[in-house]
Chain A
Amino acid sequence: MRNLFILKFLNNKIGWIYVGSGILFAAAIILGLFISSVPVAVEKIIQIIFEKTLHITWMEVPKNEEMIIWNIRLPRVILAFCVGASLSLAGAAFQGLLRNPLADPYTIGVSSGASLGAVLVIFFQVTIIGLGNFTLPIVAIVSGFITLLIVFGLVRLSSRSLAIETIVLAGIIVSSFISAIVSLIISLGDRDAMTQILYWLYGSVGMRGWEYIQLIIPFMILGTFILLIHSRELNAFALGEEAADHIGVNVKRGKTMILIGASLLTGASVAVSGSIGFVGLVIPHLVRLLVGPNHRHVLPLSFIIGGTFLMFADLLARIVIAPRELPIGVITAIIGAPVFAFLLIREKIGRGQK
C-alpha cells in the first residue's frame, strides 16, 4: 500500500518537482555551511550539528570552527531559508488573493510599516528596556501590524465588502505615505545613521544569530499554517469573489485570514532581515509555471523553493566579492529579473507554438 503510494507519487510530474526541490534544499544547506572564507570539512560540519542537537560526539572539532559553523553560518543559512520561504509563500498568497500576478508581499504596505519601525529605532538609537537587541525587530513587527490595521481601517471605511481593488489602493496609499516618512528621516539623519538605515533597508540575513530565528519562527509557523489551510479558498477566489461565494466559500473570513497570514509572514521577515525584494514576486511565478496554478501545490512549493532560492542568493552575496559582502537584495534582483524575463519570453514562445 505504502509502496504503491510512493510509486504513484513518483510517476507524477508534481511528485518529482517536490523531490527535486528537496534535493536543491539539502544542497543549499550544505553549500551554505561549507563555502566561505574559512573552509570547514563536511564531516566536521555534520559532527557539529549532531553534537549540538543530539549530543552525539564521535570526533573532536576545534572550538573556533565550531563557533563559526554553529554561531555564524548555520543561523545565517536557516534565517535565509525562513525569510525566503516566508516572503515567497506570502507572495503566492497575495497574488492568488488579489488575482493579480504583479502583487507581492510588499503590495499592501505591511513591509513599509515594518521598515518605518526599524528606521525609527536606528535613527533614535532607542533601546526598549527588557528587549535589548530585540528592540529593532519587535518594534518593526509591531509597526507592521499597526500598518495592517490602518490599511484594514481604510478599506472598511470605504467599502463594506473588503473589495480587492480597495485593499490594493489602500495598501498603495499607506505605503507611499510611509515611504515618504522614511525618506524624510533619512534626509534628516547624519551620515552615520543614514548609512546604517540604508544598509538595513537593502536587507541582509548575516550577523543575526539564533535569536532572530527564534523571533521569526513562531510567526512563520503560524502564517504558513493559516495559508496552507486556505489553499482551497485561494483556488476558489480565482473565479472571482461572487463565484467563490456561490460554491460556499466564506469570502470575507477567507480573505481576512489570508491577509493576516500573509502579513504575519511579511512583517516578521522584514523585521528580521530588512526588505528583500523580488523573492515574493518571482518564485510563485516560477512555481506556477512548473506545477500549474493549483494553490495546493503552489503554496508548499513556493515555501520550499523560495527558501532554497534565498539560501543560494545569500551564498552568492557572500562569495562574489569576498571577503566583502553584497546586499542580498541586490543578488535577488540581479538573478530574479533576468529569470523573470526569461520565463515571460518562454511562456510567450510556448503559447505561440500551440
Chain B
Amino acid sequence: MLKIQNVTGGYSNNPILRNIDIEVQNGDFFALLGPNGSGKTTLFKLITGQLPIQKGKVLLSGKDISSYSKLEKAKKIAVLSQDTSVSFDYTVEEIVSLGRYPHQKGILKNLSKKDWHIIEEVMELTKVTEFRHTQFRKISGGEKQRVLLAKALAQEPELLLLDEPTNHLDIKHTFQLLDLLKKRQEEKGLTIFSILHDLNVASLYADRFALLYNGSLLKVGDASLLKEVDTLNKIYQVQIHVQPHPTVPKPQLLLAPSLPNSTHSTFFKGNYKINNNEQFVHVQFQKPLRTISNGMVGNGIQWIKDYCIFSCKQYSTIPPEEEIQTIMEQYSITPEQTVATIVEGNIGDVVEVEREIEDTKILIIVTPTKMNEKIRGFNMMVFMDGYFNEGALVNSLLIATKEKMKAMQQFGMDEANETNEALYLAVTQKGDKSVTQRAVEATLREMVQLAVKQVYQKEKVVV
C-alpha cells in the first residue's frame, strides 16, 4: 500500500528525517512510535506533501506519490490529526459532508445520492448521527474526534493516516475510537498508519510497529518490538518494565518514576517487627515489598507490608476472605497491603535466619503448624533485599518448597501433611540487578535447611 523508500526530508536546509524505509502492507494497522521531536509528524507531512521529500521515494499503491493530483490523493488517503479547530458554527453533518469533497462531480458539485448514502453510513458507524444538526463547536472532545473520523471515512480512503488521534481523549473515548478503527480495518481492509504516543494502546491495537528516534528509523517489527526494554529505555529515558497483558496476548509496559532513591534499604533489622503467639504470626514491614504468595488474601504478585498467618481449630464454612477480615479487625491490622492465610492447628515459635550474599541480604522466618503437639507443616516467609525478575521469583519459590520438603524428610517427618502451609516470598526490588542467581539459590537452600532444623530443635523433636 505505502512504501517509503530511503526518504530524507524536512524543512528546507535541515532535513529532519534521514534514510527512512518503511513499508505498510494492505490492511495493516501500522503504529509509528517515538518520542517527541523524533520526526513522526514530519514523516506524515512528507507523505501528505506538505513538506518536500529531498531524497528517496514514497510509493502509494506502487505509484510515486508526487504523481498523484491532490484530488486523486484525497480519494486514497485521509488524515485525522490531533486537534482541528473549526471556525464558524458548522453543524456536524456539514463537517462530515466535507469528506466528500474529492468525490464530488459536475459543475454545481452538489452532493449526490451516493454521497449522502456514504455520509449517513459513516455517521452511523461513528455514532454521530444523533447530533448531526448540532454545531460542531458545542460537542465534547471525544465526539469531535469521532466526527472528524467520520469526515475522514467519508473520503472512502484506502489508507488512513492518524496523527495522535487520541491525544486529548479520556480512556473511554480513546478505546471507543480505536475499536471503531480496528473494526473498520478488519471489516473493510482499511489500512491504518498511525502515530501513537501511548505505547500500551499501540501494543493493543497495532499489528506492526516502527520506532523513530532522532530522525532515523531504529526498528520495524511486530509487537515483540515493545519487549526490547533496553532500546525503549534508551529512547524514552524512562525506566520501562514489560509485562504480559493478563487477557490479551500483547506486551504492556510499566513505567517507573525516576525519583531520588536510596539504592539499598537499610536491611530488615529494625525495619520490621514480629508479633506471634499460638493463634497468629504477624510480620510487619515499614515499606511494602513485592511479594509472590499463595495466601488466601493478597495472593499472587502484590506489594505487601503485612504478612499474616492465622490459625484455627478447624476450617469453618465461612469464606476465608471474610473470616480473615474479622480476624484482622480483631488484631487491628489494616487490610490494604496484607497477605494472610489461615492454617489448621496451632502456630509454634518463630525462627529467624539471616544471611548476606553479594550484598543481597536474605531473611527467612519460619513457624511450624502444630496439631496435637506434632509438627504438621511449615509456614515460611522469605525476604530478599535486591532486584529479582519474575523468573527469579518463581525459581526461588520452587527452591524454598523443595528444600523444605527435603529438610522435613531428613528430620524425620515423612507423613504427608494435609494442612495447608503458607509460603510468602518477598523482595525489595532495590539495588544491583546483577546479583548472581546461582549464589543466591545456594544460600537460600542452606538457609531453609537451617531454619527447618532450628524449628525441630526448638520444638524438642529429636533429630
Contacts and interface: CB of A to CB of B under 8 A. Distances in A.
Contacts of A293: 88-90, 94
A292 B89 contact: yes
Contacts of B98: 235-236, 239, 247
Interface of B: 48-50, 70-71, 73-75, 77-79, 81, 84-91, 94-95, 98-99, 101-102, 104, 109, 151, 155
A293 B90 CA distance: 6
Given A100-B87, A246-B79, A250-B70, 12 more contacts: A96-B88, A235-B94, A239-B95, A240-B85, A243-B84, A245-B50, A246-B77, A247-B98, A247-B99, A247-B102, A249-B101, A293-B89
B26 to A, nearest CB: 21
Nearest to A233: B101
Contacts of B86: 238-239
B87 A232 contact: no
A53 to B, nearest CB: 30
- Interface residues of A, dominant DSSP: loop
A209 B222 CA distance: 77
A242 interface: yes
Contacts of A232: 101, 104, 109
Given A245-B50, A246-B48, A248-B75, A239 B101 contact: no
Contacts of B49: 245
Contacts of A99: 87-88
B109 to A, nearest CB: 6
A250 B101 CA distance: 11
A247 B74 contact: yes
Contacts of A239: 84, 86, 95, 98
A181 B143 CA distance: 52
A250 B74 CA distance: 11
Nearest to B109: A232
A288 interface: yes
Contact of A238 (B73, B79, B81, B90): B90
A246 B90 contact: no
Interface string A88-100: 0000000010011
Contact of B101 (A100, A236, A288, A292): A236
A232 to B, nearest CB: 6
Contacts of A236: 98, 101
A47 interface: no
Contacts of B95: 239
19 contacts: A101-B87, A232-B104, A235-B90, A238-B86, A238-B87, A238-B90, A240-B84, A245-B48, A245-B49, A246-B81, A247-B74, A247-B102, A248-B71, A248-B73, A249-B70, A249-B101, A292-B94, A293-B90, A294-B90
